[in-house]
Amino acid sequence: MKYAIISDIHGNHDALSAVLADVDAAGVDRVVCLGDVVGYGAQPRECIATLRERKIVTVAGNHDYAAIGKTPINYFNPFAKEATLWTRRVCTDEDKEWLRGLSLVEYLEDFTIVHGSLYAPENFEYVLTRFDAYLSFQLLETPVCFIGHSHVPMNYVCTDAISDNEDLEIRLRADGKLIVNVGSVGQPRDLNPQACYALYDRDEQLIRIRRVDYDVECAATKIREAGLPVALGERLRTGH
Ligand code: ZN
- Rounded average pLDDT per 10-residue block, the chain, 240 residues: 98 98 98 98 98 98 97 92 97 98 97 97 97 98 98 97 98 96 98 98 98 98 98 96
Q: To 5 degrees, how large is the angle CA 186–CA 141–CA 8? A: 5
pLDDT for residue 152: 98
Instruction: Please check whether residue 143 lies inside any domain of the structure.
Output: no
> Alpha-carbon distance 218 to 148, whole Å?
24
How far is ligand 1, taken at its centre, from the CA of residue 43, in Å? 15
How far is ligand 1, taken at its centre, from the CA of residue 175, in Å? 31
Domain CATH code at residue 222: 3.60.21.10
How far is ligand 1, taken at its centre, from the CA of residue 75, in Å? 14
How far is ligand 1, taken at its centre, from the CA of residue 8, in Å? 5
Instruction: Please check whether residue 119 lies inside any domain of the structure.
Output: no
pLDDT for residue 36: 98
pLDDT for residue 210: 98
How far is ligand 1, taken at its centre, from the CA of residue 150, in Å? 6
The total number of structural domains in the chain stands at: 1
pLDDT for residue 139: 98
Instruction: Please check whether residue 69 lies inside any domain of the structure.
Output: yes
pLDDT for residue 86: 98
pLDDT for residue 137: 98
Q: Which residues, other chains included, contact 208 with Cβ-Cβ below 8 Å and sequence gap of 6+?
A: 168, 169, 170, 198, 199, 201
Q: Are 34 and 186 in contact (CB under 8 A)?
A: no
pLDDT for residue 48: 98
pLDDT for residue 8: 98
Instruction: Please check whether residue 98 lies inside any domain of the structure.
Output: yes
Instruction: Please check whether residue 193 lies inside any domain of the structure.
Output: yes
Q: Are 50 and 19 in contact (CB under 8 A)?
A: no
How far is ligand 1, taken at its centre, from the CA of residue 61, in Å? 7
How far is ligand 1, taken at its centre, from the CA of residue 172, in Å? 26
Instruction: Please check whether residue 105 lies inside any domain of the structure.
Output: yes
Domain ranges, residue 19: 2-110+181-238
Instruction: Please check whether residue 16 lies inside any domain of the structure.
Output: yes
pLDDT for residue 69: 95
How far is ligand 1, taken at its centre, from the CA of residue 4, in Å? 18
How far is ligand 1, taken at its centre, from the CA of residue 187, in Å? 8
